[in-house]
Chain A
Amino acid sequence: MSGSEASNEITELLVAVADGSHDAESALFACVYTELHRMACAAWRSTPASDTLQPTALVHEMYARLFRDRDPNWESRRHFFFAASRAMHDILVEQARRHASLKRGGGRRRELLTGDERGRVTAQADEIMGIREAVDALRREHEIAAQVLMLHYFGGLSHDDVAELLELSTATVRRRWAFAKSWIREYLESRI
């Protein structure tokens, strides 16, 4: 599927989701995930190694591409950012999981990766994996806080944007954000 076909399908699915279709909701996620993954890989290949590659920038690029000349309504924007944050989260976790296997591999891999590289990659993979578990736990107890975290951290939305999508005040979003990240840090540290 080309980029523009994917865009068309995503915008159509957004409408179907707004109409309350459950099938469309999972189709939307799958579609957004695939497209984001494709964009991530393309960006990875074309960005010079020295530049920082911001996954949240990819979410925004995708958004811009989808709604090039018009402003989507609140519903569509909401569904899009929920799907995209979750997709970005899953993409990072999937990458992390692949790299986490380095740690278990023992010495065989060493010749292909220096010790330093290996240590760093592994630590980061662990962190991402840990965050995933923590976010799941947070979601069970504090759904709004988890949504704020997903939209801001994985979706790259500003507090103002998050506030608009969740229909909260910016001040509340800031408080939820402080709570969510501290909660997660506490969760991770108490489980080492």
Chain B
Amino acid sequence: MDDGALLQDLFEQLVGLPQAERDRVLLERCPSDAMRARIRRMLEAYDEDETLFEEPIGARFRELLDAPERRVSDFEVMEEIGRGGMSTVFRARDVVLDREVALKILGADRAMSETTRQRFLHEARAAAGLNHPNIVKIFRYGETERHCYIAMEYVRGGTLVDLLSRTDVTGVEGRRAVVRMIADLADALDAAHRAGVIHRDVKPGNVLMGEDGRVILADFGIARVAHAAGLAETLAGAGTTPYMSPEQIAAIRDGIDHRTDIFSLGIVLYEVLTKRRPFQGRSHEDVRKAISATQAARPRSIVRSIPRDLEVITGKAMEKRPADRYPTAGHMSADLRAWLAGDPILARPPGVTRRASAALRSRRSVVIGLGAAIAGSAIGVYAYGRLSDDRPVIRTGLLPTGADVLLRLIDDETRLAGEARRLGRADHGVFRLDPGHYRIVVVEAGGGFMEYERFVEPGSDVELRPAGPSLGDVTTGMARIEGGASVSIAADATDEQRRYAERVAEVGAFWIDRHEVSNRLYAAFLAANAEVEAPSHWGGREPPEGWGDLAVSGVTYNEAQGYAEWVGKRLPSALEWELAMRGDGGRLWPWSDGNEGVEVAAIEAYLGSMVRPPPAASSAAAGAPRALDGWSPPRDTDACRSLVAERVRGVDDGGGVDVTPEGIVNGLGNVMEWTESLDVASIPSRRSVFGNHWSMAEKVGSFGAPVAQSVFIRRLGTGFRCVRTVREGE
């Protein structure tokens, strides 16, 4: 018995014994004085208060959540949300305008110095003049007898520091998201710089996270309006040590310009990529020395999966001499966005010579002369030579020989696939890619054509598999949709319709299944792919009797995708699905595009059939539509089966109304449908699903309202249909 087990054993035995017995057993069985003493203390604690922990937590809870309420000017102060060098930030309510604000309050009972007061108000003025989505909005600023205050936009999501502690940035999606944030911050800085405001304290703690995922630069606490030189002098040298630029450390009076912010943002970028600060030390003084005199370790030496271009961008922003950095924050943003789009960046790695001489200057190079020169150039080669390629792998060995493999980068914001770039011939067998979201296109000489959507993460190794045996012309049963350029919006179109037209403008022509994939077709796929699991409510690998024509449901994203690829198709992007359903006019319902002749009664009957209560609950509400709020699908197979048998329609049964003029059936109802597009939060494990399914309560969403679904979840209400890109000359 180890110590822990013995401790527990003894305690549990002793706790029911009288004192004298306890001592006897302890002496007999306990091997060490230390443990004996510890058990005695535990027993004492137990005897002292048997109600210990029994009912303490409730009263406390309120006090922890509770916050005192006081007034400052027109603001009701609630809890503290942050604290800076000379001020404290509270959540507060503007009682006049009745809105929540973040209230930054300077000073307390002690009289504040005139300089401090001026500096504070100066900050408010500087920031209030800026109007940018990524800069915190200033509503009001002013003074009371005891305080100076600034009321600004209240941002709920915490700071970049919190986000970094929660987010894995080594994954592709995490990294792309943070790079996008840094690019947004660079844009914010660019706007501030153009207005003559330098931030001077750019750091993760000053980057707030909006609920919509927006990054918001806050606390122009020691900002300097470039032409208010008098006050500026007292501010030279201010900043937060680990993020200071060399010129800030040197406190060069006239040497500090907007490029100090570019350096600090470079440090933030370095930190978000590597989770490590580039310059460290035991004291502030050490850190300052490190910033001034040493080269940071290469990001890729810390996290090997960081793409080379990001390393170059980081290095460029963090150059010691301002003249070597990006000339403006706008340039930095442009390079970051080029990387996001898969385009070449403009910054170049420093030449081998400069690296070598930098290495010579650094403290580590104690060897002088030839040896050092060789060591220096070796560093240069290592940094930028291709000694090894550890990028993710795509395997094409199973694909037809001679086929061309092309790559299109999917932009998760616009949801469009970019220009095709040729990788090589499938015979090559293995390709390495930078991590990212791709559509991989395989074109055979004989006309075969395949597309694979893949989210390629660092370290991943993906085998592409060819389509199953040909089922004849792939496009049979599909409707051809011309690209988004053909969308023409009427003069009296709604804003929603205009946004739709803009959104889909760049979508190319494609084919889309007129019907959802049926159980019969899906069963054929299962029969040929023994490793794929059948929908669990089938109760076997064949659909139940009479279910052949019903839409398949209860399949995961990967299963749906596997089916699509097996039949030589793919899943639609969100834009393609929307374009197919909403058509050239941007209709929101299948019938609301001049599709007259549809009886209102038929529509009502159809919608009514979608909101029938499920069989389990129908006895109470005999057929009348009612809200199903709080209802969720049953868990046992039998109940699932009776539900599906009763509720799911045949794939060609649109109830007379769920058919678009182009002949696409059941887009609105029956089952919801998977698309390949990430949800708005760009989380690769969640994809957008469109349409409605048969238990969607009384709210029946229109064509334009996707929701996100986790890829690993099977829903009885989610199925899919496939698309295929229209090829040139087709």
A109 within 8 A of B: yes
Chain A contacts for B38, CB-based, 8 A = 186, 190
Closest to B13 in A: A175
B88 within 8 A of A: yes
Instruction: Report yes or no: A112 in contact with B59, Cβ–Cβ below 8 A.
Output: no
- Which of B279-287, B357-365, B457-465, B628-636 forms contacts with chain A? B628-636
Instruction: Report yes or no: B15 in contact with A92, Cβ–Cβ below 8 A.
Output: no
Q: B687-730 toward A: CB 8 Å interface, digit per residue (1/0)?
A: 00000000000000000000000101101000000000000000
A32 within 8 A of B: no
Chain A contacts for B685, CB-based, 8 A = 23
- Which of B77-85, B204-212, B264-272, B313-321 forms contacts with chain A? B77-85
A182 within 8 A of B: yes
| C-alpha gap A94/B114 in the complex (Å) | 37
A165 within 8 A of B: no
Indicate which residue in A24, A70, A141 contacts B4 across the interface (CB closer than 8 Å): A141
Q: B86-108 toward A: CB 8 Å interface, digit per residue (1/0)?
A: 00100000000000000000001
Contact A96-B64, Cβ < 8 Å, known A105-B88, A175-B12: yes
| C-alpha gap A125/B629 in the complex (Å) | 38
Chain B contacts for A183, CB-based, 8 A = 11, 42
Indicate which residue in A16, A56, A111 contacts B57 across the interface (CB closer than 8 Å): A56
Instruction: Report yes or no: A107 in contact with B108, Cβ–Cβ below 8 A.
Output: yes
Instruction: Report yes or no: B64 in contact with A124, Cβ–Cβ below 8 A.
Output: yes
Chain B contacts for A16, CB-based, 8 A = 710, 712-713
A167 within 8 A of B: no
Most A CB within 10 A of own CB, among B12, B60, B635: B60
Contact A189-B65, Cβ < 8 Å, known A111-B109, A128-B60: no
Instruction: Report yes or no: A125 in contact with B632, Cβ–Cβ below 8 A.
Output: no
Most A CB within 10 A of own CB, among B41, B53, B685, B715: B53
| C-alpha gap A27/B433 in the complex (Å) | 29
Chain B contacts for A41, CB-based, 8 A = 65
A121 within 8 A of B: yes
Instruction: Report yes or no: B41 in contact with A189, Cβ–Cβ below 8 A.
Output: yes
Interface of B is mostly: mixed
Instruction: Report yes or no: B632 in contact with A101, Cβ–Cβ below 8 A.
Output: no
Contact A92-B57, Cβ < 8 Å, known A12-B713, A109-B88: yes
CB under 8 Å from chain B, chain A span 46-99: 47, 49, 52-57, 65, 68, 70, 73, 92, 95-96, 98-99
Closest to B38 in A: A186
* Closest beta carbon of chain B to A114's beta carbon, Å: 8
* Closest beta carbon of chain B to A88's beta carbon, Å: 9
CB under 8 Å from chain A, chain B span 38-69: 38, 41-43, 45-46, 52-53, 57-66, 68
Instruction: Report yes or no: A108 in contact with B630, Cβ–Cβ below 8 A.
Output: no
Chain A contacts for B58, CB-based, 8 A = 52-57
Contact A53-B712, Cβ < 8 Å, known A4-B630, A109-B80, A179-B8: no
Instruction: Report yes or no: A52 in contact with B42, Cβ–Cβ below 8 A.
Output: no
Chain B contacts for A68, CB-based, 8 A = 630
Chain A contacts for B43, CB-based, 8 A = 182
Closest to A127 in B: B60
| C-alpha gap A108/B712 in the complex (Å) | 50
Contact A95-B713, Cβ < 8 Å, known A11-B632, A185-B45: no
Instruction: Report yes or no: A55 in contact with B57, Cβ–Cβ below 8 A.
Output: yes
B70 within 8 A of A: yes
| C-alpha gap A49/B65 in the complex (Å) | 11
| C-alpha gap A174/B65 in the complex (Å) | 31
A151 within 8 A of B: no
Indicate which residue in B108, B632, B715 contacts A108 across the interface (CB closer than 8 Å): B108
Chain A contacts for B70, CB-based, 8 A = 111-112
Closest to B65 in A: A44
* Closest beta carbon of chain B to A30's beta carbon, Å: 10
Instruction: Report yes or no: B53 in contact with A181, Cβ–Cβ below 8 A.
Output: yes
Q: B658-694 toward A: CB 8 Å interface, digit per residue (1/0)?
A: 0000000000000000000000000001000000000
* Closest beta carbon of chain B to A162's beta carbon, Å: 14
Instruction: Report yes or no: A182 in contact with B64, Cβ–Cβ below 8 A.
Output: no
Chain A contacts for B632, CB-based, 8 A = 7-8, 11-12
Contact A120-B63, Cβ < 8 Å, known A53-B58, A179-B12: yes
Instruction: Report yes or no: A125 in contact with B12, Cβ–Cβ below 8 A.
Output: no
Instruction: Report yes or no: B61 in contact with A55, Cβ–Cβ below 8 A.
Output: yes
Indicate which residue in A98, A107, A121, A181 contacts B46 across the interface (CB closer than 8 Å): A181
Chain B contacts for A127, CB-based, 8 A = 60
Contact A145-B8, Cβ < 8 Å, known A54-B58, A99-B64, A182-B45: yes
Chain A contacts for B65, CB-based, 8 A = 40-41, 44, 53, 95
| C-alpha gap A56/B60 in the complex (Å) | 12
Chain A contacts for B77, CB-based, 8 A = 112
| C-alpha gap A124/B66 in the complex (Å) | 12
* Closest beta carbon of chain B to A151's beta carbon, Å: 13
Chain A contacts for B46, CB-based, 8 A = 178, 181-182, 185
A39 within 8 A of B: no
Chain B contacts for A98, CB-based, 8 A = 79-80
| C-alpha gap A127/B64 in the complex (Å) | 11
Chain B contacts for A102, CB-based, 8 A = 80
Chain A contacts for B146, CB-based, 8 A = 111
Instruction: Report yes or no: A53 in contact with B630, Cβ–Cβ below 8 A.
Output: no
A168 within 8 A of B: no
| C-alpha gap A68/B632 in the complex (Å) | 10
Instruction: Report yes or no: A186 in contact with B715, Cβ–Cβ below 8 A.
Output: no
Indicate which residue in B52, B66, B712 contacts A185 across the interface (CB closer than 8 Å): B52
Chain A contacts for B12, CB-based, 8 A = 175-176, 178-179
* Closest beta carbon of chain B to A77's beta carbon, Å: 13
Instruction: Report yes or no: B629 in contact with A4, Cβ–Cβ below 8 A.
Output: yes
* Closest beta carbon of chain A to B454's beta carbon, Å: 18
* Closest beta carbon of chain A to B9's beta carbon, Å: 9
Instruction: Report yes or no: B64 in contact with A128, Cβ–Cβ below 8 A.
Output: yes
Instruction: Report yes or no: B630 in contact with A112, Cβ–Cβ below 8 A.
Output: no
| C-alpha gap A111/B57 in the complex (Å) | 28
Contact A108-B68, Cβ < 8 Å, known A145-B8, A175-B15, A183-B42: no
| C-alpha gap A8/B68 in the complex (Å) | 36
* Closest beta carbon of chain A to B120's beta carbon, Å: 14
Indicate which residue in B15, B57, B59, B61 contacts A178 across the interface (CB closer than 8 Å): B15
Most B CB within 10 A of own CB, among A55, A73, A149: A55
* Closest beta carbon of chain A to B174's beta carbon, Å: 14
Closest to B57 in A: A55
Instruction: Report yes or no: B712 in contact with A24, Cβ–Cβ below 8 A.
Output: yes
* Closest beta carbon of chain A to B69's beta carbon, Å: 9
| C-alpha gap A107/B88 in the complex (Å) | 12
Contact A181-B52, Cβ < 8 Å, known A102-B80, A112-B77, A125-B64: yes
Instruction: Report yes or no: A186 in contact with B712, Cβ–Cβ below 8 A.
Output: no
* Closest beta carbon of chain B to A179's beta carbon, Å: 5
Contacts A40-B61, A54-B58, A95-B61 known; 15 new A-B pairs at CB < 8 A: A15-B635, A49-B62, A54-B57, A57-B58, A70-B634, A105-B83, A117-B68, A124-B60, A149-B53, A153-B53, A178-B46, A179-B8, A179-B11, A182-B46, A185-B45
Binding site for B on A (CB under 8 A): 4, 7-8, 11-13, 15-16, 21, 23-24, 27, 40-41, 44, 47, 49, 52-57, 65, 68, 70, 73, 92, 95-96, 98-99, 101-102, 105, 107-113, 117, 120-121, 124-125, 127-128, 141-142, 145, 149, 153-154, 175-176, 178-179, 181-186, 189-190
Chain A to chain B contacts (Cβ below 8 Å), 18 pairs: A4-B629, A8-B632, A12-B713, A24-B712, A44-B65, A53-B61, A107-B110, A109-B88, A112-B70, A112-B77, A120-B63, A124-B64, A176-B12, A179-B42, A182-B45, A182-B46, A183-B42, A189-B45
Binding site for A on B (CB under 8 A): 4, 8, 11-12, 15, 38, 41-43, 45-46, 52-53, 57-66, 68, 70, 77, 79-80, 83, 88, 108-110, 146, 629-630, 632, 634-635, 685, 710, 712-713, 715
